[in-house]
């Protein structure tokens, strides 16, 4: 392993059949004799026979009282016809019979809907006024019943429900305190400067977050969010007010997992990049972004650790981050969004989350999120805006990944034609030899290769660092001036 390795990261009401209407004798005329007893039901006639006959019903004697029909069955809503039982109009304008349901005698062609009904005896037709009276009577009876029920409840106070009137807010009497520095105040200030990013490529759609970096339309995000833009994928930015703008890639580096994109818009409100070196464990922070596509989401937490060596991505596209660890909820889609302190300043760019053992894909927050420190983000963003690319520092050695022991060992031999120590490189000039063990960087102990690489990447090219080196049994401090290397080299 080399310290030069890059980082990746509708029911109709059924018709009620009309009752048989008796013939009413003219005033003053003698009543006809009553007919002989007839069967309760006549055999059903065929449709053709009914079409040429007029059924004469016997007249009712004048001294015979008019039959009073019960309301039952006439104020009942029948089930709606099914699709199979629907009746189209017959040749005489009446509905056809439902299968298995004959019409009452003397009423050819009356359709029945719903379930089978028992045969009905002859009945006089119930007039509209009578029906209205019955309905009104029913309504009045219902109202009287309701009044009676309440009277009963009043007489039995123990059976009456409790008074459900709830206290109401008096307008203007309560004010929620949202002082400067509160979570609500910080969120209100930060949200207008945080955007949602969508990248459409042949492989699919990627989404993430970003923050406005400059008023001229520059936006900072993660490289892994917009990586496909380098191959011509379309990038769309959605702002907090909902409007969208296409964006173009300005520059990106997989080594730090950072990228800058730009929209053709001015007058934007940028967020301020704070000093990540001033961050301490326990500081309150807010993570802002679009987790799982839920735009303008804010979560809170604290800084739970510093200088976490985080490797994101695989192989040559891996990124090494000297990360700020936070328990503020970070989920897929938060990538590229800001981590904001209590002063409203950005102290990190949310980039990665930890997953449990055996998990190979990001499934959600477990309280371990990581952000690229703002100082690193500032330095890299400036390079990307100015040149379209970024550099990173190296010491010029190959590291042995198989080494077990204290510190990190420089490879003892060349790997794939690359020497263990780059001739005339920073390490060579400082006297570091193949097989030497590097124990610390500026007093910060290192025990695995990733820790050493992250510690070096946290610096800038040209910065001096002090390494604690052991050669055999001898230990010494050496001063190394870091060399610059461009992404892709």
Q: Which of 3, 255, 257, 283 is labelled catalytic?
A: 257
Q: What is the dihedral of CA 332, 336, 337, 340, to 10 degrees?
A: 120
**DSSP H or E run through 150:** helix 128-155
Task: Assess contact for 410 and 435: CB atoms under 8 A.
Answer: yes
* Of 487, 486, 438, residue with least CA distance to 465: 438
Which backbone phi and psi does 155 adopt, to 5 degrees?
-80, -15
- 257 a catalytic residue: yes
Strands 258-263 and 218-221: antiparallel
Helix (H) or strand (E) holding 324: strand 319-326
Distance between CA atoms of residues 326 and 366, nearest Å:
11
Neighbour count for residue 190 (Cβ, 10 Å) = 23
Of the residues 103, 193, 209, 335, only one is catalytic, namely: 335
**144 Cβ contact partners less than 8 Å away, ≥ 6 residues apart:** none
Residue 337: burial class (beta carbons within 10 Å; 0-12, 13-18, 19+): buried
Say which residue the tokens 């090494």 belong to: 320
Which residues have CB under 8 Å from 58's CB, separation 6+? 23, 32, 34, 35
Region for 100 from its dihedrals, namely left if φ exceeds 0, alpha if ψ lies in -120 to 50, beta otherwise = left
The two tokens of residue 121 are 């005896």
Alpha helix segments (H runs only) across 359-475? 374-387, 426-429, 449-457
Cβ within 8 Å of residue 471, ≥6 positions away: 433, 435, 436, 437
- Asked about 447 being catalytic, the answer comes back as no
Helices within 227-371 (DSSP H only): none
Q: What is the DSSP letter of 347?
A: E
Q: Give the integer Cα–Cα distance in Å for 307 and 464.
A: 19
Q: List all residues 6 or more positions away from 320 whose beta carbon is below 8 Å from its beta carbon.
A: 5, 7, 255, 309, 310, 311, 450, 453, 454, 457
Cα 249 to Cα 229: distance, rounded to the nearest angstrom: 6
Which of the following is catalytic: 3, 196, 209, 224? 224
461, burial (CB in 10 Å: exposed 0-12, middle 13-18, buried 19+): middle
Residues marked as catalytic: 224, 257, 335
């Amino acid at each position: 392993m080399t310290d030069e390795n890059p980082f990746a990261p509708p029911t109709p009401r059924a018709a009620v059949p009309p009752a048989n209407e008796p013939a009413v004798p003219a005033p003053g005329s003698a009543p006809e004799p009553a007919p002989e007893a007839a069967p309760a039901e006549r055999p059903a006639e065929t449709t053709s026979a009914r079409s040429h006959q007029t059924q004469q019903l016997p007249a009712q004697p004048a001294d015979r009282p008019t039959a009073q029909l019960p309301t039952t069955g006439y104020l009942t809503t029948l089930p709606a016809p099914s699709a199979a039982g629907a009746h189209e109009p017959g040749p005489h304008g009446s509905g056809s019979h439902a299968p298995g349901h004959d019409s009452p005698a003397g009423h050819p062609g009356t359709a029945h809907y719903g379930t089978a009904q028992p045969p009905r005896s002859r009945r006089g037709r119930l007039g509209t006024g009578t029906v209205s009276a019955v309905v009104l009577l029913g309504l009045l009876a219902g109202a009287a019943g309701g009044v009676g029920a309440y009277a009963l409840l009043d007489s039995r106070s123990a059976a009456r429900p409790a008074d459900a009137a709830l206290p109401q807010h008096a307008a203007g009497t309560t004010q929620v305190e949202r002082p400067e520095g509160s979570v609500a105040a910080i969120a209100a200030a930060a949200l207008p400067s945080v955007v949602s990013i969508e990248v459409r490529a042949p492989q699919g759609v990627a989404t993430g977050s970003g923050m406005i970096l400059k008023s001229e339309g520059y936006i900072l995000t993660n490289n892994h969010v917009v990586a496909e833009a380098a191959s011509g994928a379309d990038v769309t930015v959605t702002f907090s007010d909902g409007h969208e703008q296409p964006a173009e890639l300005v520059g990106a580096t997989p080594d730090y997992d950072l990228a800058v994109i730009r929209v053709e818009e001015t007058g934007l409100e940028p967020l301020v990049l704070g000093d990540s070196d001033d961050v301490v464990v326990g500081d309150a922070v807010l993570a802002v972004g679009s987790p799982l596509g839920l735009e303008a989401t804010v979560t809170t937490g604290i800084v739970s650790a510093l200088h976490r060596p985080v490797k994101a991505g695989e192989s040559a596209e891996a990124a090494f981050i000297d990360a700020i660890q936070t328990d503020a909820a970070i989920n897929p889609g938060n990538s590229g969004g800001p981590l904001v302190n209590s002063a409203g300043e950005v102290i990190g760019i949310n980039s990665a989350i930890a997953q449990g053992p055996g998990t190979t894909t990001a499934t959600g927050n477990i309280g371990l999120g990581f952000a690229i420190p703002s100082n690193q983000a500032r330095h890299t963003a400036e390079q990307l805006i100015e040149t379209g690319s970024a550099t990173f520092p190296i010491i010029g050695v190959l590291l042995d990944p198989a080494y077990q022991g204290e510190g990190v060992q420089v490879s003892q031999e060349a790997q794939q034609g690359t020497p263990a120590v780059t001739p005339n490189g920073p390490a060579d000039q400082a006297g570091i030899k193949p097989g030497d063990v590097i124990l610390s960087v500026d007093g910060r102990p290192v025990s695995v290769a990733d820790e050493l690489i992250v510690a070096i990447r946290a610096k800038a090219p040209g910065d001096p660092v002090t390494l604690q080196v052991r050669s055999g049994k001898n230990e010494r401090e050496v001063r190394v001036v870091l060399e610059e290397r461009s992404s892709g080299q």
